[in-house]
Every structure is written in C-alpha cells, then in structure tokens.
Structure 1
Amino acid sequence: MDLAQIRQQVMTGASAVSAKKATDVVVLEVGPLLGITDFFLLLSTANARQLKAAVEEAEHQLRTTHGRRPIGREGSPEAGWIVLDYGDFVIHAFTAVQREVYGLERLWSDAVRTEVDEAVEAR
C-alpha cells in the first residue's frame, strides 16, 4: 500500500474521532524516524466514555470504509488510553490527563506534524 492510501486511512480515523468530540487530533509522520510504522494518530478526550466512543467510531469507519481491522489493541477506557495498531499506522487515544503523562509529541518532536482540524476541513 502506498503512503497516500495509508494517509487517507489515517484521515478517515481522524474524521471519525473528531466526530465523537475528540480534541487535539494530530497526525505525526513517524515513518522516516521509526521504520516500523508510517503514522501516529493522536487524540484526546475529556473522559473514559468519550475515549471508548471515539475509538469505536474509528474502528467502525476504518472497517467499513477501507476494510481495515486493527492487528493489535492495548489499554482500556478505564486506564485512560487505548492503542490500535493497524500496522502502517497506530492510533493513540488518551484522556487529556494521560496524554500529558505519556508525552508522545515530545518523544516524536522531530516528526512531521499535521493538525487534523485543518486537514479534515481540507478533505
């Protein structure tokens, strides 16, 4: 699958979580830095219930639109974080508090960053 197709799938996930009131939705292009995946989709929610709803909507939209299912899943709404691994991209969903704790944007500060609010509107 080429990078444009993967990016399109990531944006489908971004649109899905945004529709469920996720905030601070960001795509990091980590492929050149990491080598095992191309993109991280990061998002925050206000609470565990929103976290669950956002992740479920992303899974649903990626399955129905692109026929994709995660190859791995970790975390839980109660823990305040969920990771969905799709191989060529990974969705990192957090409550706002847990996102600060993990600080993935600080860890991957060299990655090309796309603010999804702007990118979703451009689609």
Structure 2
Amino acid sequence: MASRLTRSSSDAHERAVVAAEAAAAKKGEDIAILEVGDIISIIDCFVLVSATNTRQVKTIVDEVQLALREHDGSRPLGVEGLDDATWVLLDFADVVVHVFLDSTRSYYDLDRLWADAPRIDIGDEPVSARQASR
C-alpha cells in the first residue's frame, strides 16, 4: 500500500467515495464525506456513517474494508472500537472512516465539530440512492 505521502488528495477522495458506496450497500445512513486535509495535515478525508444497531456497524465495517481492498489493495492501518461496535474507526492513512450507532453519532456530533470542513459532492442524490439504482 502506498503511503499518504505518495497519494494525491484526488486518490483519497476516490477512496472516500468507494468507502461511502460500500457503506450505502449495507444500508448505512446519513453518509457524509468531509474534506479535512486543510484542517488536519495528516488526513485528507473523513467518511461518517450511521447504523441502527451493532450488527449493522460490524457489517458496514467489513464491507468498507472489502471494498477498499478490492479497489486498490488497501488495508486499514488500525481499527478501533470493534468490540463495542458503537463507534468503529477505520484508519486508511489518508481516509478515516467512522461508523457509528445513531445515538453515538448524535452524542459526539462530529458533523458539528468539523462543520468548517468542506463536504465532497457525491452526486445529486444520496450515495444510498445511487447504490440502490445500480
């Protein structure tokens, strides 16, 4: 896997969209891609995803890992929170995927914390709608 230093931010954006689409395929909700590269110099994108139960959190995590491995051979540098599965963080160096239970996402409110970060446009319709139409 290439390091963050050898990847462009457009690669990170593409990988973030792949992760978002994988999450949508497993019924992830309220999916957001935040471009945080100008705020956090070591990460280009956050992908935020909500799930309704811990089983769905784990399913989304598995699907995101599989999709990125198939896309470009990526494997996470670290996975945190899988035991509780209320908030799982997948660290792919330039892209960090957060999969939350709805209540956990509301409590920590990363959307508000990173409100200054631009959102990457993933099309006119939500990722989940694009995935369903395939």
1:73-84 equivalence runs, <5 A = 73-76=79-82, 78-84=84-90
**Residue identity in the other structure for 1:67:** G
Q: How many residues align?
A: 121
Of 44-53 and 108-117, more deviation after overlay is shown by 108-117
Q: TM-score, normalised by structure 1?
A: 0.91
| Bigger Rg, structure 1 or 2 | 2
- Alpha-carbon deviations, 1:74-99, whole Å to 9, x = none? 00263411000011010011010000
Query: Residues 71, 99 of structure 1: CA spacing in aligned structure 2 closer, same or farther, 3 A cutoff?
Result: same
User: For residues 1-123 of structure 1, what are the structure 2 equivalents within 5 Å?
Assistant: 1-76=7-82, 78-114=84-120, 116=122, 118=125, 120=127, 121=130
Q: 1:116 to 1:77 in 2, by over 3 A?
A: farther
Q: Is the 8 A contact 1:48 1:77 kept in 2?
A: no
- Is contact 1:41-1:92 (8 Å) kept? yes
**Between the two proteins, what is the percent identity of the paired residues?**
40
- Which is worse superposed, 39-48 or 110-119? 110-119
Q: Distance in 2 between matches of 1:97 and 1:24?
A: 13
Quick check: which one's helix share is greater?
Answer: 1
Higher strand share: 1
Rounded Cα–Cα distance in structure 1 between residues aligned with 2:11 and 2:98: 20
Distance (Å, rounded) in 2 between the aligned partners of 1:89 and 1:17: 14
User: What is the TM-score of this pair, normalised by structure 2?
Assistant: 0.84
Contact 1:52/1:77 (8 A) holds in 2: no
Structure 1 unaligned regions, length at least 5: none
Matched residue, 2:3: none
Q: Shift of the alpha carbon at 1:100?
A: 0.8
